[in-house]
């Protein structure tokens, strides 16, 4: 087995797939664009959903990348040997190109060939789908594995719970998968399998054979094209390759842990309590740095992504205080994170100043509120009946004193109390005017089941943008902002006066004419300069990098945009403007729907 650094593994992955006809695409933003139903990118396939559903991808049918991901569903597990809220996923995709045979052979070669990971076949185990009423038993994958050299006894048939992958259990592209495990050779019992949580099997790679679209009524419709979606966890894999027992001891965490040791004067490994605290600090600061340094960067706040960031940061600060760390610990540790990732993610260095500023600001804000909040907390606890902190009280601590929910839960636990978190979510939902299910789903980082709707609204936004320029005869009617939810689009543009009824009717008509024409939406990659020269409109900045995507809707629209878009305008339905109003001086706002 090869001992590889994280950077060597990233390079080897991309080299392997690029040599096999895959286009290497960059990591998408951690903050999904135009997908309001999910807070963070949770897997490499997530930004690719429209392409898995059939929209042609500009990179072709074979893609590979290294994707930054955030999953906060298991935040309570962070502190053990392997859980992290941020991770990198090495991924490759076949969009209607190769399927099981070729993919399993790719996987086997990458895992076992001495030119790549060089893992001994005897250390591997795989699982395949056992079959049920929705899809057959995957004998085909089992046979291919066997022909590669995986012995029968190391091939396990497991049910949907284990061997099926779909985005966050909701609707959308999904299918049976085959998973690859490191077998530590110490099964806990005769029937021990990768489904067992004794720790004998560690999953490192998952090949999903994405051939169904799970519909809202729970049925599975075959997809137009059979796709492959795979993901290998970078942290776990280097942990194995580097012969470590915890991801926190691998080369991506070492310098971060060293910075925590320095700031706290405690040696990592001294005792269980400080090991856990140091891992939580390392994980949460690493995730926060990536959130702050993302091209779609966010800042701490009380809603949505900003709230998740606030929770992570405040929790890290609390643990730093428990370890009596030095005053500047937060920024020192953040600097170590940037140091580790500067090569793979240059955006962190680019945004270093912002990252450091925001960290210091949030620490200051937290210090100010925490003292008052703790007083309030003690006051509340004094009145408690039955050892339960009410959702209302937890919400007050959150809303007025900036206490993230789990901080209240942890403080309560220290005093032998529990918190009514269900009730907290009710107050939170009422506050944010969002459904409780929605709020919780977002919290857990689930995936949208509305991505097709928002994709259509995204395409409608392009048509609207051009229609505004055409109808208002004003090339200066430029985009100032855009926001899309599953219900509507919202578009802000520079224009000096209210639009007349007639203008609004003409704009609607222009957009609906483009829809009625049912023309394809095509995409080309080119340099930003060529795009502008070709007459493409649209907001863009260096964050799109050198090359930009230009989406053309016949002669109705040509716009620079990150995508994704509907395949044809005919999919859009009827476009209707529901509101036109002032947004700020010289900026108008239109809200519109597709019916
Ligand atoms: N989407 C699958 C996963 O997250 C494979 O990439 O495991």
Question: What is the full per-residue pLDDT of the chain (595 aa) written as tens digits?
Answer: 999 999 999 999 999 999 999 999 999 999 887 666 578 998 898 889 889 888 889 899 999 999 999 998 788 789 998 899 999 999 999 999 999 999 999 999 999 999 999 999 999 999 999 999 888 999 999 999 999 999 999 999 999 989 999 765 467 889 999 999 999 999 999 999 999 988 899 999 999 999 998 887 888 889 889 999 999 999 999 999 999 999 999 999 999 999 999 999 999 999 988 999 999 999 999 999 999 999 888 899 877 788 889 989 999 998 999 899 998 999 999 999 999 999 999 999 999 999 999 999 999 988 888 778 888 888 877 666 568 888 888 988 887 787 878 788 888 888 888 888 888 888 887 765 443 344 444 444 333 334 667 788 989 999 999 999 999 998 889 887 778 777 789 998 999 999 999 999 999 999 999 999 999 998 888 877 788 788 888 765 443 445 678 899 999 999 988 767 888 898 898 999 999 999 888 889 999 999 8
Q: Are 72 and 444 in contact (CB under 8 A)?
A: yes
Cα-to-centroid distance, 229 and ligand 1 (Å): 7
Q: Is the peptide bond before 564 cis (omega within 30 degrees of 0)?
A: yes
pLDDT at 376: 84
Q: Which helix (H) or strand (E) holds 24?
A: strand 23-24
Closest ligand 1 atom number to CA of residue 231? 6
pLDDT at 206: 97
pLDDT at 445: 39
State how far the Cα of 454 lies from the Cα of 248, in Å rounded to an integer: 38
pLDDT at 498: 94
Q: Which is nearest to 35 in space by CA: 483, 481, 409, 392?
A: 483
Closest ligand 1 atom number to CA of residue 45? 1
Q: Is the CB of 91 under 6 A from ligand 1?
A: yes
Q: Is the CB of 178 under 6 A from ligand 1?
A: no
Q: Is the CB of 43 under 6 A from ligand 1?
A: yes
In degrees and rounded to multiples of 5, residue 218 shows phi and psi of 90, -5
Q: Which tokens is 65 given?
A: 């990348």
DSSP code, position 322: H
Cα-to-centroid distance, 500 and ligand 1 (Å): 49
State how far the Cα of 590 lies from the Cα of 583, in Å rounded to an integer: 9
pLDDT at 380: 78
> In sequence order, which residues have a C-beta less than 8 Å from that of residue 536 and are 6 or more positions away?
550, 558, 559, 560
Tokens 């569903």, residue? 73
Q: Are 9 and 241 in contact (CB under 8 A)?
A: yes
Q: Are 542 and 527 in contact (CB under 8 A)?
A: no
Q: Could you tell me which residues are beta bridge partners of residue 527?
A: 547
Q: Is the CB of 206 under 6 A from ligand 1?
A: yes
DSSP code, position 193: -
Q: Are 211 and 222 in contact (CB under 8 A)?
A: yes
pLDDT at 134: 86
Q: Is the CB of 231 under 6 A from ligand 1?
A: yes
Q: Are 303 and 432 in contact (CB under 8 A)?
A: yes
Cα-to-centroid distance, 517 and ligand 1 (Å): 37
DSSP code, position 78: B
Rg (CA), the chain: 25
Q: Which tokens is 281 given?
A: 């600090």
pLDDT at 584: 82
**Ligand 1: which residue has its CA nearest to atom 3?**
231
Cα-to-centroid distance, 89 and ligand 1 (Å): 8
Q: Is the CB of 235 under 6 A from ligand 1?
A: no
State how far the Cα of 592 lies from the Cα of 595, in Å rounded to an integer: 10
Q: What pTM does this model have?
A: 0.72
Q: Which helix (H) or strand (E) holds 331?
A: helix 329-341
Q: Could you tell me which residues are beta bridge partners of residue 547?
A: 527
Residue 268: HSE in the Cβ half-sphere, 13 Å Cα cutoff: 22
Phi-psi region of 92 (alpha: psi -120 to 50; beta: other; left: phi over 0): beta
Q: Ligand 1 pocket check: which of 165, 181, 447 to mutate, most ligand atoms within 8 Å of Cβ? A: 165
Q: Is the CB of 230 under 6 A from ligand 1?
A: yes
pLDDT at 16: 98
> In sequence order, which residues have a C-beta less than 8 Å from that of residue 432 and are 6 or more positions away?
303, 439
Q: Is the CB of 92 under 6 A from ligand 1?
A: no
Q: Ligand 1 pocket check: which of 203, 206, 228 to mutate, most ligand atoms within 8 Å of Cβ? A: 206
Closest ligand 1 atom number to CA of residue 167? 1
pLDDT at 449: 38
Q: Which is nearest to 511 in space by CA: 581, 572, 560, 582?
A: 572
* Cβ neighbours around 518 below 10 Å, total: 11
State how far the Cα of 48 lies from the Cα of 64, in Å rounded to an integer: 11
> In sequence order, which residues have a C-beta less than 8 Å from that of residue 54 and are 6 or more positions away?
223, 224, 225, 567
pLDDT at 438: 45
Cα-to-centroid distance, 549 and ligand 1 (Å): 26
SS3 state at 585: coil
In degrees and rounded to multiples of 5, residue 134 shows phi and psi of -90, -30
């Amino acid at each position: 087995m090869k001992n590889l650094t994280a950077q060597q593994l990233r390079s080897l992955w991309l080299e392997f797939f690029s040599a096999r006809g895959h286009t290497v695409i960059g990591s998408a933003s951690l903050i999904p664009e135009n997908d309001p139903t999910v807070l963070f990118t949770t897997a490499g396939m997530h930004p690719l959903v429209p392409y898995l559903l059939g929209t042609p991808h500009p990179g072709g049918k074979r893609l590979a990348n290294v994707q930054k991901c955030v999953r906060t569903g298991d935040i309570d597990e962070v502190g053990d040997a392997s859980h992290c809220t941020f991770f990198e996923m090495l991924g490759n995709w076949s969009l209607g190109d190769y399927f099981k045979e070729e993919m399993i052979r790719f996987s086997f070669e990458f895992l076992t060939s001495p030119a790549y990971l060089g893992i001994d076949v005897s250390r591997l185990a795989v699982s395949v789908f056992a079959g049920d009423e929705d899809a057959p038993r995957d004998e085909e994958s089992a046979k291919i594995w066997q022909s590669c050299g995986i012995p029968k006894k190391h091939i396990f048939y497991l049910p949907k719970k284990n061997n099926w992958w779909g985005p966050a259990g909701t609707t959308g592209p999904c299918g049976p998968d085959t998973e690859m495990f490191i077998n530590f050779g110490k099964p806990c019992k005769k029937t021990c399998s990768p489904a067992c949580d004794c720790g004998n099997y560690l999953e490192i790679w998952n090949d999903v054979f994405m051939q169904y679209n799970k519909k809202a009524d729970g049925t599975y419709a075959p997809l137009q094209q059979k796709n492959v979606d795979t993901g290998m966890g970078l942290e776990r894999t280097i942990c194995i390759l580097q012969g470590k027992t915890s991801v926190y001891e691998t080369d991506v965490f070492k310098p971060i842990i060293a910075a925590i040791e320095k700031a706290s004067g405690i040696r990592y490994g001294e005792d269980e309590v400080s090991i856990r605290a140091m891992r939580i600090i390392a994980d949460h600061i690493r995730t926060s740095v990536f959130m702050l340094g993302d091209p779609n960067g966010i800042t701490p706040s009380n809603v949505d992504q900003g709230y998740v960031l606030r929770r992570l940061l405040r929790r890290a600060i609390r643990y730093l205080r428990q370890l009596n760390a030095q005053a500047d610990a937060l920024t020192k540790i953040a600097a170590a994170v940037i140091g580790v990732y500067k090569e793979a993610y240059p955006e962190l260095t680019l945004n270093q100043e912002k990252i450091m500023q925001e960290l210091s600001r949030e620490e200051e804000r937290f210090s100010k509120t925490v003292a008052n909040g703790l007083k309030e907390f003690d006051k509340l606890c004094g009145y408690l009946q039955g050892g339960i902190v009410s959702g209302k009280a937890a919400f007050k601590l959150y809303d007025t004193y900036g206490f993230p929910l789990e901080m209240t839960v942890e403080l309560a636990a220290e005093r032998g109390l529990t918190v009514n978190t269900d009730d907290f979510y009710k107050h939170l939902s009422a506050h944010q005017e969002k459904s409780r299910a929605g709020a919780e789903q977002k919290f857990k980082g689930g995936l949208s089941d509305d991505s097709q709707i928002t994709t259509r609204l995204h395409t409608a936004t392009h048509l609207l943008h051009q229609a505004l320029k055409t109808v208002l005869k004003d090339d200066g009617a430029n985009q100032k902002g855009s926001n899309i939810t599953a219900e509507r689009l919202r578009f802000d543009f520079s224009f000096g006066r209210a639009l007349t009824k007639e203008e609004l009717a003409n704009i609607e008509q222009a957009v609906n004419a483009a829809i009625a024409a049912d023309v394809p939406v095509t995409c080309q990659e080119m340099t930003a300069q060529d795009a502008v020269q070709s007459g493409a409109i649209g907001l863009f900045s260096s964050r799109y990098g050198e090359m930009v995507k230009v989406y053309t809707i016949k002669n109705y629209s040509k716009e620079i945009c990150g995508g994704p878009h509907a395949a044809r305008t005919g999919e859009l339905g009827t476009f209707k403007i529901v509101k036109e109003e002032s947004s700020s001086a010289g900026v108008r706002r239109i809200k519109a729907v597709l019916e």
